[in-house]
């Protein structure tokens, strides 16, 4: 064994991570640092598209642009102060913004969005930029730079899935469809065209652990959202050890 291998702090040994009372023994190379949770106990896990496996110990995702772009970032948050059943609904029914904004702002109100044809088993609600322009002009007059507002990364399309009872099970927000992907996907190969690169934020609930998980990846990977969703759910079940007394 080389001196470098002996000195390396990176391995795939289980590291304890916590979500509320729940304990998980997750191999170290799943973590973004490849060492474990941070000093506050927060964690971010990373698997690589397309196999959705972690990088080998010592292989850092930020050292290579291709690895960085193929990273699927998984951030769990234990929820204890908000009803779990309402979390996904709160993403598309804002109770943070003013009642007027929640009612009139096309970027906040699902009823003011463009309902599209199903995409990969998801129901899309696209941002209507004509309505958004009108709303911004009403609020700010000619002081608003509409072109700049249209380029904002805050402009997102919504993709949702509901169960048979109409309850939200998945919410995915992605860069608005007017924004190019920024990359071309050829099989398992990514080619960067020019930034910015369109992304998605995929929210799901793990009721067993009272946890919301936010998963981030490139929009060109949206076609694999169900596989990613299943992988995330299975990962926490696989490495769950016990609930603390």
Percentage of the chain exceeding pLDDT 90: 62
DSSP secondary structure, 40-65, as one string: TS---EEEETTTTBPPPTT--GGGSH
Best CA proximity match to 202, nearest among 179, 173, 181: 173
Q: Give the Cα separation of 36 and 44 in Å (integer).
A: 9
Residue 85 neighbours by CB under 8 Å, 6+ apart: 167
pTM recorded for the entire structure: 0.91
Under 8 Å between Cβ of 126 and 119 = no
**pLDDT bucket at 101, cuts 50 / 70 / 90:** confident
**pLDDT bucket at 4, cuts 50 / 70 / 90:** very low
Q: Give the Cα separation of 11 and 30 in Å (integer).
A: 10
Mean pLDDT of 102-123: 92
Q: Give the Cα separation of 29 and 55 in Å (integer).
A: 7
Q: What tokens does 211 get?
A: 């946890």
Mean pLDDT of 215-234: 98
Cα→Cα distances 36→32, 111, 200, Å: 8, 42, 25
Q: Give the Cα separation of 192 and 179 in Å (integer).
A: 15
- Which residues are bridge partners to 94 per DSSP? none
């Amino acid at each position: 064994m080389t001196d470098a291998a002996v000195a390396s702090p990176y391995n795939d040994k289980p590291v304890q991570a916590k979500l509320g009372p729940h304990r998980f023994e997750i191999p170290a190379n799943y973590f973004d640092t490849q060492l474990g949770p941070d000093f506050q106990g927060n964690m971010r896990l990373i698997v690589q598209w397309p196999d959705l496996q972690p990088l080998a110990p010592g292989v850092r995702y930020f050292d290579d642009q291709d690895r960085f772009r193929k990273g699927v970032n998984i951030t769990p948050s234990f929820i204890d102060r908000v009803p779990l059943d309402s979390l996904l609904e709160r993403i598309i029914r804002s109770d943070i913004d003013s009642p007027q904004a929640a009612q009139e702002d096309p970027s906040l109100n699902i009823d003011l969005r463009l309902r599209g044809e199903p995409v990969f088993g998801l129901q899309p609600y696209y941002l209507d930029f004509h309505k958004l322009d009108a709303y911004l002009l009403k609020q700010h007059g000619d002081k608003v730079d509409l072109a700049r507002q249209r380029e904002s990364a805050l402009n997102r399309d919504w993709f949702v899935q509901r169960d048979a009872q109409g309850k939200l099970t998945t919410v995915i927000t992605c860069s608005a469809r007017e924004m190019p992907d920024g990359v071309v996907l050829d099989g398992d190969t990514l080619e960067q065209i020019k930034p910015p690169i369109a992304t998605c934020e995929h929210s799901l609930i793990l009721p067993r652990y009272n946890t919301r998980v936010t998963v981030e990846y490139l929009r060109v990977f949206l076609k694999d959202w169900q596989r990613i969703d299943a992988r995330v759910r299975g990962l926490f079940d696989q490495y769950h050890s016990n609930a603390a007394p």
